[in-house]
Structure 1
Amino acid sequence: MSNGIDPMDTRQVAVGAGGGTDSDMAAQGGSFAGMTVLSRVSGLARDWVLAHVVGASEAADTFILAFRVPNFFRRLFAEASFALAFVPILTEYREKGSQAGARAFVSAVAGDLGVVLIGVSVAGALGASLLAAVFMPGFIDDPEQFALATDLTRIMFPYLGLISFTAFAGAILNSANRFAVPAFTPVLLNVSLIVAALWAAGAGSDVVGAARALAWGVLAGGVAQLLFHGLPVARVGLLVAPVPNWRHEGVGKVFRLLLPAVFAGSAYQVNALVGTVLTSFLEQGSAAWLYYADRLWEVPIGVVAVALGTVLLPNLSRLHQQGERAKYNATLDWGMRTGLLLGIPAAVALWMLAYPLMATIFLHGQMQPRDAEMAAAALRAFALGLVPLVLVKIAVPGYFSREDATTPLKFAVASVAVNVAASLGTFWWLGHIGLALATSLAAVVNAGLLVGTLIAGGHYRPGRPLARVIATSLMATAAMAAALWFLVPHDAHWTTAEGWSRAGHLALVIIAGLAVYSALVLAAGIRPKDLRHRA
């Protein structure tokens, strides 16, 4: 990093230190994105193992949907929403208060959060059958599958408490501009699941036994993720004993922001719930097809959208507290430019390489060619919503940094309504593809409302560099698409070729496409230094 701070050395940042100084956002984003790439690569390795061990079997569908139960609440409350509500308030304490005040605030939030999470985790484990019925109603008529869904939900639901505290610790680090450790954390869950799957395969378990082993792997991964944050949080001076204090002023502010944040920052997760319920009524394999497609879609979302949104929130919050309106606008514009420059080609590449990616990564073991085809179709539908979702992740911090939770709440409700209507209107005749299309359509609506209102309200004024980036990216992406169309063989090649041959060919195609895009962007005069920004 240009400011001389090692992104992995949390000892170099103390609470209240550097809070008012400029920060190199490109370096911060690069640190987060680098760790996210490692996380996504380990995630693909995990999914490769899962595809080999459980494939698109009935047990795979059951595990995937049961894992979505704690995952739904994790993403709804723990990831986006809690950070959106917590980081601006902690930033306010750091900017206008003292370290002692920040520690008292963190202690109170930790204590109150612990009370809530213990109660929810116990209730969820005891009510696993009810949760299975709500999230997977299509399994009720199959007693054996519903029983498995209930067992897996009961095993994995306590993961919610573990990962919520992990997200709390990550939000503390993010508020101190420490992004690498939280971004690396998912690697531990991926490793735990890989070990569980390999253990099941080595023990000769059938797909049902493997699904149970994976459920215990989720729980072990949650413990590892939480413990991993302990030392970094201590190094920023905020590892404090949790003491419940519902009357603390900061706690009240957090909870007033949290409910709207649940919808505004995580509308996509509400949409995912709709898809989970409807998927349980579709043919066997549908949940697995959507899962494998979603995993590939999540790679650019994590590396681009989540990285930018995570870096933007604490920096925009600080600039708002300091009254730096010009820097605030410039920082938000930097996020838009960077997101579109990376997001547009990623969306087109996902569309064009959908089947090669699926066949190369997942076509082995229990996976069949038709499974790869169905998953690729879902990935193409998801790809349509990639750029809008990037814009959503960038725009939402533009509201919560100003402690405006009401406006994005309204837009989130609108996008959820669009998703529900589109899902119900398409899933009977388009199946799993209709659910993916509905998710993308909801992202389009949410992005349009969020960005449009920021501009109309005078909180964001797009500059000329943004128009230049959009025009350049579209031109370079068109050339990249032409190159990919010429270089990518027919689908039959990806089905019949050996695994190493598929992987080598896909790597060459990706490198060629990246080279074409990068060369044209550079030829248009956009240099890496143009993406650097100090907030």
Structure 2
Amino acid sequence: MGLLRSAATVSSFTLLSRITGLIRDVLIARAFGAGPLTDAFWVAFRIPNLLRRLFAEGAFSQAFVPILGELRSTADTHAVRTLLDRVALLLTLAVMLVTIAGILGAPWVVTLMASGLRAAERQTEFEAAVWMTRMMFPYIVCMSLVAFASGVLNTWSRFAIPAVTPILLNLSMIAACLFLVAWFDVPIYALAVGVMAGGILQLAVQWAALARLGLLPRLNASISASRNDPIVRRILRQMLPAILGVSVAQISLLINTNIATWLTPGSVTWLSFADRLMEFPTALLGVALGTVLLPSLSRAYAQDDQAGYNALLDWGLRLILLLGLPAAIGLALCSDALVATLFHYGAFGDHDVAQTRVAVMAYAVGLIGLLAIKILAPAFYARQDIRTPVKIAAVSLVATQLLNVALVPLLAHAGLALSIGLGATLNALLLGSTLKRRGIYRPAAGWRTFAARALPAQIVLAGLLVAASRYFDWVALGTQPGMRVLWLAALLAAAVTIYFLTLALCGFRPADFTRRAR
């Protein structure tokens, strides 16, 4: 299958996930606004998500997928099944212990994540955050096993199921928001129950997919044999630096969340909704490309196919330029339109729109960096080199926090978003320069010509969006929400059409976007 088709499959289902996620957030904004209890929910929800990224989707996938792909190419089915059984057993036991510790220590966990909630006047929010943290902590058990299943399915080139299952979480939270709120004395608690229901549904669907492939792990393996398995120990050795690498990003998120709880109430929610808009391009393009590139890069490295390895990276980075840069321009120049049209209802007022808009604009500055990391980091993971991205991520963490010191006093919550974006850009630059300096990545000829051909389309797009921002008052259009949606849809359709038409006039053809798997 062509890599573009694989990426398009992941992107299509991810788009559905992000659309349902937006519907979810629109309902949350309308029902709860950007108040203190909403902040408490986002803090509580961020805790299991942080651990999920730390132990499951991040460190685990980076260590597990390349080694699983190598074993699949060199060993028989029995060896693969044995590895899956043993890895699944140890992963399950580890995350269950973490979950139990988290439930018991929820007050300390919330304090670590959001010390601003410990203020005397914010005890209601603190207690709510503790309750919801305890309710949602088992979510990491579900999502760790989902990450395991996703790694296996992606290795077998079954990209659709891992991409579609996040929709179930959003649907569960939507259902909770619509139908469970009345059952709780503190209405927002319904969202925590929805998160757990969504985690269970995602796990059920992914494990059913493993069963259809005949790869469903059996959790009755020997713990001792699992720990002493040389391939398992190799994965664990790879996970240690991977955990350090992922933890750098999560430490940055933890620090930023903590800082946000000391700012104006609502800051956590404004950043969460802005991040939701950022997830559209990062997931549709960055995550999709990273998902399909890692197995292909691993295969090229295992086969000592340096030309194929370089061509894969060239393809990914050129798509970032062609599709990621216009997304960044669109987020920055359409931030008012997007935030007002999506969230400006019910309890989410004019002030909330303005505060969320500036956070979106700040995030947009670092979008290209965030996307490039999704391409460049797998170039190291495919070589089973996790230490180098860890060191680079640590440098970026220090830089991000230094930027916070300078920017947060000036820009408040928007300073946090801008620091993250600038830190990601530094991370991407360091990853790319290291790959080139070591001779791992040798860009193909013609990059300057390629960029020059793409530039006119970016300029035309920006001009259109600037003109639209001066013509429309998107907040005032809240009195006509239907018309506001239609105008935004028309603007986005016009922007996409004009952008790709300009690319075509500059000589771009569909072949510039495609690449077949090697």
- Which band: TM-score by shorter chain? over 0.9
Aligned equivalents of 1:87, 1:112: Cα separation in 2: 16
Matched, 1:519 2:465: no
1:230, distance to aligned residue in structure 2 (A): 1.6
Q: Deviations over 1:181-229 (max 9, x none)?
A: 111111000000000011145x286xx7221000111111100010011
1:463, distance to aligned residue in structure 2 (A): 1.4
Give the aligned partner of residue 177 of structure 1.
157
1:222 paired residue among 174, 199, 203: 199
What is the letter of the counterpart of residue 147 of structure 1?
E
Give the aligned partner of residue 37 of structure 1.
15
The 8 Å contact of residues 350 and 475 in structure 2, kept in 1 or not, is answered as: no
1:80 paired residue among 55, 58, 79: 58
Aligned equivalents of 1:161, 1:471: Cα separation in 2: 48
Matched, 1:529 2:511: yes
CA RMSD of aligned residues (A): 1.5
Distance change (3 Å), C-alpha of 1:210 and 1:448: same
Q: Give the 5 Å matches for 1:229-248.
A: 229-242=206-219, 243=221, 244=223, 245-248=226-229
1:267, distance to aligned residue in structure 2 (A): 4.5
Give the aligned partner of residue 3 of structure 1.
none
Distance change (3 Å), C-alpha of 1:504 and 1:388: same
Q: Give the 5 Å matches for 1:108-257.
A: 108-141=86-119, 142-201=122-181, 203=182, 209-242=186-219, 243=221, 244=223, 245-257=226-238
Question: What SS does the corresponding residue of 1:91 show, helix, strand or coil?
Answer: helix
Aligned equivalents of 2:247, 2:466: Cα separation in 1: 35
TM-score (norm 2): 0.96
1:490, distance to aligned residue in structure 2 (A): 5.1
The 8 Å contact of residues 63 and 239 in structure 2, kept in 1 or not, is answered as: yes
The gaps in structure 2 that reach 5 residues or longer are: none
Matched, 1:508 2:485: no
Q: Deviations over 1:484-509 (max 9, x none)?
A: 11233456343344111111111111
1:471, distance to aligned residue in structure 2 (A): 2.5
The 8 Å contact of residues 84 and 265 in structure 1, kept in 2 or not, is answered as: no
Q: Give the 5 Å matches for 1:427-446.
A: 427-446=408-427
Number of aligned pairs? 510
Give the aligned partner of residue 357 of structure 1.
338
1:352, distance to aligned residue in structure 2 (A): 0.2
Give the aligned partner of residue 368 of structure 2.
387
The 8 Å contact of residues 488 and 509 in structure 1, kept in 2 or not, is answered as: no
Distance change (3 Å), C-alpha of 1:265 and 1:469: farther
TM-score (norm 1): 0.93
Aligned equivalents of 1:211, 1:101: Cα separation in 2: 47
Aligned equivalents of 1:499, 1:382: Cα separation in 2: 26
Q: Aligned residues: percent identity?
A: 38
Give the aligned partner of residue 47 of structure 2.
69
Q: Give the 5 Å matches for 1:339-418.
A: 339-418=320-399
Aligned equivalents of 1:264, 1:469: Cα separation in 2: 33
Matched, 1:281 2:258: no
What is the letter of the counterpart of residue 501 of structure 2?
A
Q: Deviations over 1:80-117 (max 9, x none)?
A: 32211100000110111111111111111101111101
Structure 1 stretch displaced more, 295-304 or 139-148: 139-148
Aligned equivalents of 1:514, 1:169: Cα separation in 2: 35
The 8 Å contact of residues 103 and 238 in structure 1, kept in 2 or not, is answered as: yes
What is the letter of the counterpart of residue 509 of structure 1?
L
Structure 1 stretch displaced more, 269-278 or 149-158: 269-278
1:76, distance to aligned residue in structure 2 (A): 2.2
What is the letter of the counterpart of residue 172 of structure 2?
S
The 8 Å contact of residues 355 and 491 in structure 1, kept in 2 or not, is answered as: no
The gaps in structure 1 that reach 5 residues or longer are: 1-22
Question: What SS does the corresponding residue of 2:228 show, helix, strand or coil?
Answer: coil
Q: Deviations over 1:403-458 (max 9, x none)?
A: 11111111010011111222233223321011001101110110000011111111
1:263, distance to aligned residue in structure 2 (A): 4.0
Question: What SS does the corresponding residue of 1:397 show, helix, strand or coil?
Answer: helix
Distance change (3 Å), C-alpha of 1:150 and 1:490: farther
Structure 1 stretch displaced more, 493-502 or 133-142: 493-502
Give the aligned partner of residue 2 of structure 2.
24
Question: What SS does the corresponding residue of 1:464 show, helix, strand or coil?
Answer: coil
The 8 Å contact of residues 200 and 209 in structure 1, kept in 2 or not, is answered as: no
Aligned equivalents of 1:169, 1:123: Cα separation in 2: 24
Aligned equivalents of 2:282, 2:247: Cα separation in 1: 14
Matched, 1:258 2:236: no
Give the aligned partner of residue 272 of structure 2.
291
